[in-house]
Amino acid sequence: MPLFSSLIYKKLPKVSEIMGVLAAFTGMALMTIQKSFFDIGLGDLLVAGCAVAYAFHILVLGRFAGSANLGVLIVVQIATAAGLSCGTFWWAEPVHIQWSAGLWVALLVTSLLATALAFAVQTWAQRYSSPTRTALIFSMEPLFAWATSYVVAGEVLSRRAAFGGVLILAGILMVELKPIPGFSFLVSRFSLLKRTGDR
């Protein structure tokens, strides 16, 4: 996220943000990649591509959430997602619909809670939070998933996954706490030298 932000908005990220995001990313990888980092399939690549697209979505939303009309922005996001989905879902597999009570419940849950409510809450929250903090909050999804599985099925984390969870929490703390003084000084000196050299 800090890398994309610096490329789009020409703003140098804080070292604490970079370290926090790297720690959270490593922790998320430890919790979600079961075997080896080199044993990545097509599904993993699709998830990674989705993560990159969603990172840009968070950045754009962070740019306009504070100034645009909240209702209009929410509707535009949902309509855009619906349009892209309708134009691309057909290539994945043959479409077959068998209407049932369970399907209607699933449609209501995914459309109202997982889409409309989720977009509304995220859009409102990004008025008061930075894109980097938003991305770090989303990186806690594996932790929430494990907590749910622990309550429902009694699933226990492996040592590797537990260490990944610790890294995610550590990454969030790195961003939320004050920047590291020594690193901040080095970054500011580097920026000053670069501006002097450009002149």
Predicted confidence at residue 4, as pLDDT, reads 64
DSSP 100: -
Q: Is residue 36 part of a domain?
A: yes
Query: What does residue 125 show for φ and ψ, rounded to 5 degrees?
Result: -70, -35
Q: Is residue 106 part of a domain?
A: no
| Cα dihedral sign, 72-57-32-25 | negative
pLDDT tens digit string along 46-64?
A: 777 777 787 788 888 888 8
By residue range, what is the domain housing residue 24?
2-66+126-198
- Whole-number percent of the chain with pLDDT over 70: 76
Q: Is residue 101 part of a domain?
A: no
Q: Is residue 17 part of a domain?
A: yes
| pLDDT surpasses 60 at 22 | yes
Q: Is residue 114 part of a domain?
A: no
Q: Is residue 45 part of a domain?
A: yes
Domain count, the chain: 1
Rounded CA separation 118/181 (Å): 37
Query: What does residue 65 show for φ and ψ, rounded to 5 degrees?
Result: -65, -35
Please name the residue ranges forming H helices in 89-130: 101-108, 118-125
Q: Is residue 155 part of a domain?
A: yes
Q: Is residue 191 part of a domain?
A: yes
Element (H, E) at 80: helix 70-88
Predicted confidence at residue 50, as pLDDT, reads 77
Query: What are the distances in angstroms from CA 71 to CA 12, 74, 179?
Result: 32, 5, 35
pLDDT tens digit string along 161-173?
A: 788 888 887 877 7
Tokens of 96: 């077959």
| Residue 53 burial class via C-beta count within 10 angstroms: exposed 0-12, middle 13-18, buried 19 and up | exposed
Q: Which amino acid is at 171?
A: G
pLDDT tens digit string along 131-177?
A: 777 877 777 777 788 788 888 888 777 888 788 888 887 877 777 67
